[in-house]
Amino acid sequence: MSDVAFARAGPEAPGLFRLRTIVILIVVGVAAFAAMVVGAAYAPGSAPKGGGAAHAVSNSAVGYSGIIRLAQAAGYETRVVRDEEMLDSRGLMVLTPQTADTPMSDVIVRRRGLPTLIVLPKWATVTDPKHPGWVVHFGLLPASEPYGVLAPANKLTITRTKSGGAPLLADGWLSDSGVQIKAPRPLQTISGANLKPLLTGKDGRIVLAQLGEGPLYVLADGDLLANIGMRDADSAAAAIDLLDQLNVSNEPISFDVTLVGLGRSPNPLRLAFDPPFLAMTLTLVAAMLLAGWQAFARFGPAVRRERAIAFGKAALVDNSAMLIRKARRQARLGGRYAEVIRERAVIAFGVPAKLRDKAIDDYLDRMGGRAKFSELAAAADDAADRQELVAAAQALHDWQKEKGK
């Protein structure tokens, strides 16, 4: 058996594609595949819905998706931060922690010197099973929840009062901004050391304050920015104006969702294009290019393939032996080997032609020697494995050699 050979077409039989066309197709295909891989590695992730909690991608009453869309419609550049690497980006960053155990210290340290607005949690809600994206509120959270967001570094007192919807009063450097916004019902306020009031209720309680000397701000009542406050046009416009005053720059206004567990996980494919794994990627690309070059330009003379089955009796015997060995049937050849030795002994020792089968074995046994032929033949026929077969065959060979002397 040999491999099928295909002859080259002669000059009169042109190929389907020219070599140049094939090379161009391969180059374009490889470039397109590489672009797809790189694009998949650095493409931004899809935005999850995020349920109905109080965060930037929530459409519920306590969410903040409304003010983001409103700011975009008003011409402000906004973004939702899903990558922790972007927490120290320039421009105002709005943080919306949900519970007292939200880790805030690292974020505050990273945002040092950058405008940051921390919105304290207010309402206790659960997802509305009848309306996806909505929530059902059970009332106000315990005061320990908004208090614990900045504790123990900043110990704030949380107070809830009936505001009656009266306008809030601008204070401090915000008093010259002209910001006018109505107080939510009920109104959540804060008090404590190191606070500089920027928005207060009619009784002087702080709603928005600057914490310390840097541009770190604390909003006690998130309803001022939440979707529930966007239903009033004047309140919505005032909320946009408030964010613009706190931003104090032309940088985008960012809304973080990593603190509420909606951050985008790192793309494993991107690791292949970032140091230190970039070196390994370039090495693999170079190896593939060399393999492709070898496919088009052979290194050295072509090596002629050998036949699957060689010519000659020896090759036929070897192939037959290989098949028997592959099938693990060597032990079943003991009886046939004993018959071959018996036929050779009949000719070599002049056994009478009239004798048959057992009579031949009896004749050979009477020739004497250290072992009887019938016993050796029976041992070869009963061999159970390769080792027993080899031992029995060797004994028959020695018997024939002994008698031939």
**CB-based contacts of 313: which residues, under 8 Å, 6+ apart?**
none
- pLDDT score recorded for residue 325: 78
Closest CA to 181 of 202, 195, 156, 162: 202
More confident residue, 303 or 93: 93
**CB-based contacts of 14: which residues, under 8 Å, 6+ apart?**
none
- What are the Cα distances from residue 264, in Å, to 163, 260, 267? 39, 12, 9
Per-residue pLDDT of 332-375, as tens digits, reads: 788 888 888 888 888 888 888 888 888 888 888 888 777 888 88
Sorting pLDDT into bands at 50, 70 and 90, what band is 9?
very low
More confident residue, 240 or 312: 240
Chain-centroid distance of CA 275 in Å reads 18
> Which of 15-19, 25-29, 169-173, 179-183 has the weakest average pLDDT?
15-19
d(CA 404, CA 67): 110
d(CA 52, CA 33): 39
- Range list of H helices, 231-333: 233-247, 277-296, 313-327
The 10 Å CB-count burial string (b at 16+, else e) for 205-219 is: bbbbbbbeeebbbbb
- pLDDT score recorded for residue 12: 46
Closest CA to 45 of 270, 305, 363: 270
Both structure tokens of 55: 């965060």
Per-residue pLDDT of 117-165, as tens digits, reads: 999 999 888 888 788 778 887 788 899 999 999 988 888 999 998 887 8
- DSSP conformation class of 283: H
- pLDDT score recorded for residue 5: 45
- pLDDT score recorded for residue 330: 76
Type and span of the H or E element at 139:
strand 135-140
d(CA 59, CA 48): 12
* 8 A C-beta contact, residue 392 and residue 336: no
More confident residue, 47 or 239: 239
- pLDDT score recorded for residue 48: 42
- pLDDT score recorded for residue 405: 63
* 8 A C-beta contact, residue 145 and residue 190: no
**CB-based contacts of 205: which residues, under 8 Å, 6+ apart?**
159, 161, 187, 189, 190, 191
Task: Give pTM, 2 decimals.
Answer: 0.56
Question: How big is the CA angle at 10 (ends 5 and 12), to the nearest 5 degrees?
Answer: 150
User: What torsion do the CA atoms of 283, 284, 287, 291 make, to the nearest 10 degrees?
Assistant: -170
More confident residue, 115 or 43: 115
Per-residue pLDDT of 94-129, as tens digits, reads: 999 988 888 888 899 999 989 999 999 998 888 887
- pLDDT score recorded for residue 218: 93
Share of the chain above pLDDT 90, in %: 15
Pairing mode, if any, of strands 93-95 and 253-256?
A: parallel
Q: Is 341 helix (H, G, I), strand (E, B) or coil?
A: helix
- The residues facing 117 across adjacent strands are 94, 217
Q: Is the pLDDT of residue 44 over 60?
A: no
d(CA 24, CA 399): 74
Q: Is the pLDDT of residue 284 over 70?
A: yes
Show contacts of 101-105: CB within 8 Å, 24+ apart: 101/148, 102/149, 102/259, 103/259, 104/149, 104/150, 104/259, 105/153
> What's the chain's average pLDDT?
82
* 8 A C-beta contact, residue 143 and residue 156: no
- pLDDT score recorded for residue 309: 65
Pairing mode, if any, of strands 216-219 and 116-119?
A: parallel
Task: For the chain, give percent helix, strand, coil, nearest 5.
Answer: 45, 15, 45
Per-residue pLDDT of 169-189, as tens digits, reads: 888 888 887 788 888 889 999
Q: Is the pLDDT of residue 2 over 70?
A: no
Both structure tokens of 259: 């603190």
- pLDDT score recorded for residue 120: 93
Pairing mode, if any, of strands 93-95 and 116-119?
A: parallel
- pLDDT score recorded for residue 13: 47
* 8 A C-beta contact, residue 240 and residue 253: no
Closest CA to 57 of 72, 69, 44, 71: 69
d(CA 364, CA 377): 11
Q: Is the pLDDT of residue 92 over 60?
A: yes
> Which of 184-188, 248-252, 345-349, 400-404 has the weakest average pLDDT?
400-404
Q: Is the pLDDT of residue 331 over 80?
A: no
